[in-house]
């Protein structure tokens, strides 16, 4: 049989070991919480990177569409100019009472004198 002193000594060692294990267990819990927060941050980072990529694609598409709009506006301006010229040619070529119409210009009297 073990003596009381040796049992007390063993009990003290076991209590110290229990205290150490509780401390380690608390550290493990803290590390689990930190790991969970880290995982949440990583998930958020992935989501934000996807948003950034989507925005970059949208920006590129917007730039392409703006370029296309400028091109179409330039073509429209050319077509409108051509239409205006065609109307002028038609108005000069119209006949009035069988005679070709001449465009008239109002000149102030001060220029004639």
What would the pLDDT profile of 45-93 be if each residue is shown by its tens digit? 999 999 999 999 999 999 999 999 999 999 999 999 888 887 777 777 6
Give domain status of residue 52, yes or no.
yes
Q: How far apart are CA 26 and CA 30, in angstroms?
A: 6
Quote the domain boundaries for residue 61.
4-65
> Residue 40: its pLDDT value, please?
98
> Residue 30: its pLDDT value, please?
93
The domain total for the chain is: 1
Are 104 and 111 spatial neighbours (Cβ–Cβ below 8 Å)? no
Neighbouring residues of 103: CB distance < 8 A, sequence distance ≥ 6: 91, 92
> Residue 88: its pLDDT value, please?
78
Of residues 109 and 5, the one with the higher pLDDT is 5
> Residue 84: its pLDDT value, please?
82
Give domain status of residue 46, yes or no.
yes
């Amino acid at each position: 049989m073990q003596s009381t002193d040796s049992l007390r000594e063993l009990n003290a060692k076991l209590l110290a070991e229990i205290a150490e294990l509780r401390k380690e267990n608390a550290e493990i819990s803290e590390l689990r919480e930190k790991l969970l927060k880290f995982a949440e941050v990583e998930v958020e980072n992935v989501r934000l990177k996807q948003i950034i990529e989507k925005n970059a694609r949208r920006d590129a598409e917007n730039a392409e569409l703006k370029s296309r709009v400028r091109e179409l506006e330039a073509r429209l301006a050319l077509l409108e100019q051509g239409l205006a010229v065609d109307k002028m040619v038609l108005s000069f070529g119209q006949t009035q009472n069988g005679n070709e119409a001449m465009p008239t210009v109002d000149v102030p009297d001060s220029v004639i004198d």
